[in-house]
Structure 1
Amino acid sequence: DTQQKIISHLESLDLQSPSEKVQKPSQEVKFLGIWWKGDMTCIPPDILTSLDQIKMPASRKDFQHALGLLVFWRKHIPYFSIIARPFYNLPRKEVKWEWNASQEEALQLLIFEATAHQALGPIHPTDP
């Protein structure tokens, strides 16, 4: 047992650690806002909640915020680039801001896919 060896080594160096402070091995780790469960990453519940609260963006800034949340998790959303195609021209300054039904449908589909695949590993095994 590696943990016991480490504790024994620390005690041999006259370093005491209270038994209530010793953490057992865990299958879950939260690091830099990402939950790692085994060999999978999971979208944290607070992100899923904020995704569910996304409404029709009223401006480019609102749209960029919503899309930024989804882009961070894109490797877990199947066919992300195909679904997000209606958004291609929206962030451009020279294009008039206009939100239509196809973009609303694409946004809702991306949110649905993010919640459906929240605890899966990468879609493509070659992805990091």
Structure 2
Amino acid sequence: MSPPTSKKETQAFLGAIGFWRMHIPEYSQIVSPLYLVTHKKNDFHWGPEQQQAFAQIKQEIAHAVALGPVRTGPEMKNVLYSAAGNNGLSWSLWQKVPGETRG
């Protein structure tokens, strides 16, 4: 994944990874240099701090702990949701567990 090249791309990236804020320790500290380039009063400048934050948060996401066990078997149903647009893409994998109801 290439680094963002504009404020809008940076905002889209931060929006796409926002889910992880509750699952990665010190998430806010890691991505704070990325938020700096999105402020209206600041010109967009991708410097070493932003590059380091971008690389680190990607690494943290890649090594994040699974939020639940992946269950296997003929009765298990996997559902993959995906979305794509001009500014990015997202996906999530869900499992339907027989006998469990979740809102």
Q: TM-score range by the shorter chain?
A: 0.5 to 0.7
User: How many angstroms does 1:86 deviate by?
Assistant: 1.4
Does the aligned pair in 2 maintain the 1:78–1:113 contact within 8 Å? no
Q: Which letter maps to 1:93? A: K
User: How many angstroms does 1:88 deviate by?
Assistant: 3.4
List 4+ stretches of structure 1 deviating above 2 A. none
1:117 paired residue number: 64
User: How many angstroms does 1:118 deviate by?
Assistant: 4.4
Name the SS of the counterpart of 2:36 in structure 1: coil
Equivalenced residues, count: 68
Task: Tell me, in whole angstroms, the C-alpha distance in 2 between the residues paired with 1:93 and 1:59.
Answer: 12
Task: Tell me, in whole angstroms, the C-alpha distance in 2 between the residues paired with 1:79 and 1:114.
Answer: 12
Q: Which letter maps to 1:59? A: S
* Structure 1 unaligned blocks of 5 or more: 1-52, 122-128
> Is 1:74–2:21 an aligned residue pair?
yes
> Is 1:83–2:55 an aligned residue pair?
no
* Structure 2 unaligned blocks of 5 or more: 69-103
2:3 paired residue number: 56
TM-score normalised over the length of structure 2: 0.59
Identity of aligned residues (%): 35
**Over the residues paired in the alignment, what is the CA RMSD in angstroms?**
1.6
1:44 paired residue number: none
1:104 paired residue number: 51
Task: Tell me, in whole angstroms, the C-alpha distance in 2 between the residues paired with 1:105 and 1:120.
Answer: 26
Task: Tell me, in whole angstroms, the C-alpha distance in 2 between the residues paired with 1:116 and 1:110.
Answer: 10
User: Greater strand percent: which structure?
Assistant: 2
Does the aligned pair in 1 maintain the 2:31–2:54 contact within 8 Å? yes
Does the aligned pair in 1 maintain the 2:10–2:34 contact within 8 Å? no
